[in-house]
Amino acid sequence: MISWHSGLNEGDVVSSRIYESYYKDRKCLVLENETLCIRILPDCGGKIQSIYNKSKMKEYLYQSPYKQFKPPVYDSSYVDADFSGFDEMFPTISECYYPKGPWRGTRIPDHGEIWSVPWEYKLEQEAIFMAVYGVRFPYRFEKRIQFIQENTIQLSYKVINLSSFDFDFIWAAHPLFNCNENMVIVAPDSMHQIINTAPGEILGSFGTVHEWPVTHMPDGKEYDISLIRSESSKSCKKFYALGKVKEGWCALHDKKNGDVIGLSYPISQVPYLGFWINEGGCCGQYNVALEPCTGALDRLDTAVQWNQAAVLEAGSEYEWYLNMTFDNAYQFTTGLQRDCSILYNKIII
């Protein structure tokens, strides 16, 4: 059993209200406190559909323009569903064939299995517990959602291998955050290079390595990869921090209004970090995803080949967490602590 604890003591949760409601035409679960309201769709991959700041009247997650929710279909393309909110990607990101063991040659759907199937759930006193079984592979995936601070959500994960064989996998968070031209991606100073996984004019071919945050284009001009550009750019980029990260945090910072979206996670279990920047180039959407993950390079078969996938040993469990905080700071000074508290001095302007 592999585990990494958040350092929270029993009872270190924030008082919250949990109830059933609707999102568009779908039944949803609601977890809310005085600041944040979270809407979850258990029948649609356990998706966190909305994270809404009540005092600011601000939605953090990208919402599709459809009047009715487009439910996912197992083994379909991710972009054919609602393509919004926060999905779990497991046991791959991109469609591929399982590369080894008794499941060798079994096709894994686009974005994995669990985003497109119904989850079971239980409403607890201060948390929502959810679980789902694999379709083509023998595992049980569990998630518990709760507040650990007024402005911080903790997602606690466990995956259980129900077989007598080791199981290689990638888990990646896929929260599509709303963005604007004032935003910048903030990463630890220890992150110096990134590797491109989506061929394009800006970052080049798959596997191209760039300096972070500023690289040089073929014409010699500097390009700051960390800056979010206009939706009219019509570009999209997918890349990873090169190799395993040394610090378990990342953030989006709006330099105009000071808003910060911060993520923290245990690098012992979640050693890789991906980024998706969609500036109108894919399906006309405008969003950014910060994607802590247990494996890199999008495809499980490629990750296994390059020894960048996680391994769930036969009959064992694998546990980790993801903290998400929503705060305001006009200037970062350090980064994020383990519990996702921001290390900065607030500057009032």
Token couple for 235? 């570009």
Is omega for the bond preceding 213 within 30 degrees of 0, making it cis?
yes
Residues of the chain whose pLDDT is less than 50? Answer: 1-11, 333, 344-349
Give the integer Cα–Cα distance in Å for 8 and 264: 14
Rounded-to-5 percentages of helix, strand, coil across the chain: 5, 45, 50
56: three-class secondary structure by DSSP: coil
pTM of the model: 0.93
Give the integer Cα–Cα distance in Å for 132 and 256: 41
Residue range 122-158, pLDDT digits in tens: 999 999 999 999 999 999 999 999 999 999 999 999 9
Structural domains in the chain, sorted by start: 17-344 (2.70.98.10)
Closest CA to 195 of 237, 228, 233, 247: 237
Residue range 275-333, pLDDT digits in tens: 999 999 999 999 999 999 999 999 999 999 999 999 999 999 999 999 999 998 766 54
The predicted pLDDT at position 329 comes to 75
Give the integer Cα–Cα distance in Å for 27 and 39: 10
How many CA atoms lie less than 13 Å away from 117 in the CB half-sphere?
21
The predicted pLDDT at position 199 comes to 96
Q: Identify whether the C-beta of residue 211 lies closer than 8 Å to the C-beta of residue 192.
A: yes
Residues 6+ positions from 56 with CB-CB distance below 8 Å: none
187: three-class secondary structure by DSSP: coil
Token couple for 85? 């909110």
Q: Identify whether the C-beta of residue 46 lies closer than 8 Å to the C-beta of residue 143.
A: yes
Q: Identify whether the C-beta of residue 137 lies closer than 8 Å to the C-beta of residue 103.
A: yes
The predicted pLDDT at position 330 comes to 66
How many CA atoms lie less than 13 Å away from 176 in the CB half-sphere?
20
Q: Identify whether the C-beta of residue 52 lies closer than 8 Å to the C-beta of residue 36.
A: yes
Amino acid identity of residue 2, one-letter, is I
Between vectors from CA 63 to CA 59 and to CA 67, what angle results, nearest 5°?
A: 125
